[in-house]
Amino acid sequence: MKNKRIVDSWNKIEPDATAEERMLDSILAHTHSGEAEEGKVITMNKVFNWKRLAPIAACLVLAVAITIPFLNDGSGDFDLPLSDKGIKVSYVNKVPNINMSNSLVYLTEDELLAGVYEGYPVSIFSGVVIEVKNICLDFGDGSDNYRAVAKIEVGDVLRGDMEAGDTVSVLLPAPVGVEGVQISDTGISSQMAVGVTGIFTPMKYDETSVWEQSGKEIHLLDLAGYGLPDGERWAFLETADGLQYDHEAYTSLIGAENLDDVREFILSKIK
């Protein structure tokens, strides 16, 4: 998308006839004002060749193309090429106290591990969290929305088009590692931290993955390639406190001790 915008900008930058004539007259006037070394006046054919200025024109076009992405008013720490103007997304170190309660729609184990959720493919892979940062989404309406983005180095791929060794970004439904934040149904995602290993089952975003607020749309692909539908049922983590997952959603996993047990359970469901 970024490359397409730059190419489109290049194609639109062409001098009109008036500009061509003005530039030609200026060059001719400057040329005729000087004399050659032998005392003869330098003459010049008035047929102007634009190819001689191609390198200069290319530099000017490149400068304009580089500038264009920065004209989106206040994109913060994220480029938002797909989203509406006026939205700002920034990394934050501080998050205000948040107290929210949600109600999840019940899903069976088979539904949770199905290949598609709400029309989007669901990937399944093991990996280790190598980075997690809280972010603030500002739609310019006076209300801030806080989430987090985790980067995960992929290990074993059970389902999906990524490969072992890839790094994928996953949008989390709530900020992590912050005291005073109480958001229901984020008990698992809130435990994500650098070094934590797990099995993750996020949905894969595409161009239709859009969040609308106050008449503005942000495309989730501008934030991450994947996302957790909620912070409780789409990840299984091994932490210092042992295996963490939603026991109510996955009753068949009662007694599981580690991620190997989770892996075997998932494979039995998706084969």
pLDDT tens for the chain, 271 residues: list them.
Answer: 333 332 233 233 333 444 344 444 544 444 444 444 444 333 333 333 333 434 444 443 344 334 333 333 454 999 999 999 999 999 999 998 887 777 899 999 999 999 999 999 999 999 999 999 999 999 999 889 999 999 999 999 999 999 999 999 999 999 998 887 778 789 999 999 999 999 999 999 999 999 999 999 999 999 999 999 999 999 999 999 999 999 999 999 999 999 999 999 999 999 8
CA–CA distance, 89 with 81 (Å, rounded to integer): 12
Contact 156, 263 (CB under 8 A): yes
Token output for 196: 């934590």
Q: What pLDDT does residue 99 have?
A: 79
CA–CA distance, 152 with 164 (Å, rounded to integer): 11
Contact 233, 122 (CB under 8 A): no
Q: What pLDDT does residue 267 have?
A: 97
Residue 147's Cα: distance from chain center in Å? Answer: 13
Q: What pLDDT does residue 5 have?
A: 33
Contact 250, 198 (CB under 8 A): no
Contact 158, 152 (CB under 8 A): no
Q: What pLDDT does residue 38 have?
A: 44
CA–CA distance, 46 with 121 (Å, rounded to integer): 63
Q: SS3 of 169, please?
A: strand
Query: How many alpha carbons fall within 13 Å on the CB side of residue 194?
Result: 5
Q: What pLDDT does residue 139 have?
A: 95
